[in-house]
Structure 1
Amino acid sequence: MSLEIWFALVAATAALLIVPGPVVMLLFSQTLAHGRAVSSAAIPGVVLGDFCAMSLSLAGAGALLAASTQLFTLLKICGAAYLIWLGIKIWRTGLAPMDVVADKGQHSPWSIFRQAFVVTALNPKDIVFFVAFLPQFVDPQQPAMMQLVLIEATFLAMVIISTSTWIFIGGRLRAGLKNPKALSILNKCGAGALIGAGGLTAFAR
């Protein structure tokens, strides 16, 4: 892969990741509710979810989903339902105290990791998207495998930067708002956005 193609990959990935989606809504909501220390566990969950989506697309699952409307719709509805359920859960649970890092139950780092992975991996549009996205940066004159490894590594590295940035922003916002009522309203807005993202996912084509 030439340096020019790699820079094009970086630019395209940055443009893709800068647009807030369901994963960003989840990161933001969890950070507002529970703080950076807990929500940081979502980063490896998102990375693993994207890795699985890319691997499945390369293994042929993307083409299968593109060809099977029923399977695509089923996975899309499952992912949307999970987003809505998470939004309702965050709305009802509310905020953790500022001095509490995590509890041993539903707000543990493992729980946040699992939620981030499921939201990322259960998006059939991502799997289909990678089928079209990844080959754009493969030079047919060079071995494909090493190029695909570099493409995946670059994409996942930028995912880490993107998710870390959103969590940092959410953490700063949480720390800057001293009024519990205002923070609670903002948290409910984040939960509502997550529910809305689930609804849009369910009805989007």
Structure 2
Amino acid sequence: MNSVWLLFLPACFALNLVPGPNNLLSLNNAACHGLRLACLAAFGRLLAFAGMIALAASGLALVLQTSASLFLAIKLFGGLYLLWLAVQLWRAPAQSLEAGLPIQRANLWALARQEFLLAAGNPKAILIFTAFLPQFVDPRLPAGQQFALLGGTFLVLELVAVALYSLAGLHLGRLLAGQRARRLFNRCCAVLLGGAGLGLLLSRRPA
């Protein structure tokens, strides 16, 4: 499990750093309301992700234990999804900050609720927990414990990503929001995701 977890770390962190709507919201919140409020509001996002992880663990544990072919299908689908996401991220137009999400008033509950709703309604997040996490679960070992470790790692790294985006919004502001910087950042994440996808597709599957 240790070697699988070490493979999981960079791939997971690349997903955490993808400049999606929640990360852009943290950037905006920090720029407008400060670092503390932006980080606290992000716990709404973590709550939504924790619920998705629990649902994925309870629903896919039986699949992993009873069907090797379905496990392989999920693994292949997840690897191909990573490659597709890398290509989309590489080709994505670099939007400026003005094209982002509207800012709510400086109320922690309102901002946390917006984080929760954005995360819960994001189809890419659902795909991550149903196709990405199961690839790193060894069917020979208890699935619940592995989902807990991988899911907990994802949430911790997500909180790190929140802090980084909030700091960027607080200190870099317009520099990070520029098209050239966004394009470079998108392509760096695309390279990490593409490498992780190829590594998973070429890796030996557990018997």
Residue 37 of structure 1, CA deviation: 2.6
Q: Is the 8 A contact 1:57 1:128 kept in 2?
A: no
> What is the match of residue 124 of structure 2?
125
What count of residue pairs does the alignment treat as equivalent? 143
Unaligned runs of 5+ in 2: 61-99, 183-207
Given the superposition, is the C-alpha separation of residues 134 and 13 from structure 1 closer, same or farther in structure 2, using an over 3 Å criterion?
same
Cα distance 1:140–1:60, how it changes in 2: closer, same or farther (>3 A)?
closer
- SS of the equivalent of 2:42 reads helix
Find the residue that maps to 1:52 and give its secondary structure: helix
Q: Find the aligned partners of 2:142 and 2:36 in 1 and give their Cα distance.
A: 41
2:157 counterpart of 1:162? no
Counterpart in the other structure of 1:27: 26
Q: CA RMSD in A?
A: 3.1
Question: Normalized against structure 1, the TM-score is what?
Answer: 0.60
Shift of 1:145: 0.9
DSSP-derived class of the 1:139 partner: coil
Please list, as runs of the form range in 1=range in 2, the aligned pairs for 1:3-42 lying within 5 A after superposition: 3-42=2-41
Query: Which 4+ residue blocks in structure 1 deviate beyond 6 angstroms?
Result: none
Could you tell me which residue of structure 1 aligns to residue 83 of structure 2?
none
Unmatched runs of 5 consecutive residues or more in structure 1: 62-85, 94-105, 175-182, 194-205
Is residue 143 from structure 1 mapped to residue 123 from structure 2 by the alignment?
no
Contact kept? 2:41, 2:112, Cα under 8 Å: yes
Contact 1:56-1:127 within 8 A present in 2 as well: no
Whether the 8 Å CA contact 2:49–2:120 is kept in 1: the answer is yes
Contact 2:57 2:147 in 1 (8 A): no
Tell me how far apart the structure 1 counterparts of residues 133 and 52 of structure 2 sit (CA, whole Å): 12
Identity over aligned pairs, percent? 33
